[in-house]
A and B are shown apart, each in its own frame.
Chain A
């Protein structure tokens, strides 16, 4: 019997004002709860404007993980950062829709480059608005 004393944490990297994390393991429930908390802390501390979550290694996203991804996006938005989920596998997208989850309010991009581009555009638009005001 394996004992899970401490759920391992998903590392969060910072590039400029963007936080980047890659989910590379079969996500245990506790792990994504921890991630939610860690990420909120990091956004507040680092004043990050964007969060990029790479899920290309995930072969299953069930309704719980889907809901957590939506929650993370919502929390980040309230903390003034935009979230983009990148790298979703086609089979995962099909399954999510069949499951009845359309991940409303969650922005997605096909890969990290496009995700970064979305966040960059967001940040510069906001800067533009501030400049006009």
Chain B
């Protein structure tokens, strides 16, 4: 897993660009202040796609949980954020990448209350519940990639 060699996310079906705001942004995560920055960037992206207040709160909360995981368990890393899709189908996609120790048992890590960091163990499982799309890739010694996406349904 070598994220520096290119985008770790595989191209989705609607990855083609949709103007300037579809350009991805990379936010390094190495301090608590970076976790705050991740929240601000996620909030701005959700505003750009016109997401509802509750959907924005869910996504930004998930971003906060995942960024803290990257910092505390992954030993730091980065978040890549992009707006993908067109028009009313636009969504915000965030990918958290670290090259930390990785997760030996993903199934267990996704269980509420399972924690190795002295927290409540709600980070991963909570983020999964809060986002519409959730994907995780990890193996011992190979770091962790978590990709989430969310949007607001439009009538």
The number of chain B residues with a CB under 8 A from chain A is 27
The number of chain A residues with a CB under 8 A from chain B is 24
| Complex partner residue of B126 from A27, A28, A60, A99, CB under 8 angstroms | A99
Q: A28-B32, A99-B126, A100-B122 are in contact. Are A62 and B58 (CB under 8 A)?
A: no
Interface of chain A residues 13 through 61 with chain B (CB within 8 A): 26-30, 59-61
User: Given the complex, which residues of B lie within 8 Å of A60, measured CB to CB?
Assistant: 39, 57, 60-61, 64
Q: Are B68 and A64 in contact (CB under 8 A)?
A: yes
Q: A59-B43, A67-B119, A99-B126 are in contact. List 20 more A-B contacts (CB 8 A).
A: A4-B33, A26-B36, A26-B39, A29-B35, A59-B57, A62-B64, A62-B68, A63-B119, A63-B122, A63-B126, A64-B64, A64-B68, A64-B119, A91-B53, A91-B54, A95-B57, A98-B129, A98-B130, A100-B125, A101-B122
A interface list, Cβ under 8 A from B: 2, 4, 26-30, 59-64, 67, 89-92, 94-95, 98-101
With the chains together, A59 CA to B55 CA distance in Å?
Answer: 12
Contact B36 A63 (CB under 8 A): no
Task: State in angstroms the CA–CA spacing of A62 and B60 once bound together.
Answer: 9
In the complex, which residues of chain A have a beta carbon less than 8 angstroms from the beta carbon of B60? 59-60
B65 interface contact, C-beta 8 A: yes
B16 neighbours in A (Cβ, 8 Å): none
Instruction: Determine whether the beta carbon of A62 is less than 8 Å from that of B61.
Output: yes
Check: B133 CB closer than 8 A to any chain A CB: no
Question: Is the C-beta of B20 less than 8 angstroms from some C-beta in chain A?
Answer: no
Cβ of B40 within 8 Å of any chain A Cβ, yes or no, is yes
A99–B126 Cα gap in the complex (Å)? 4
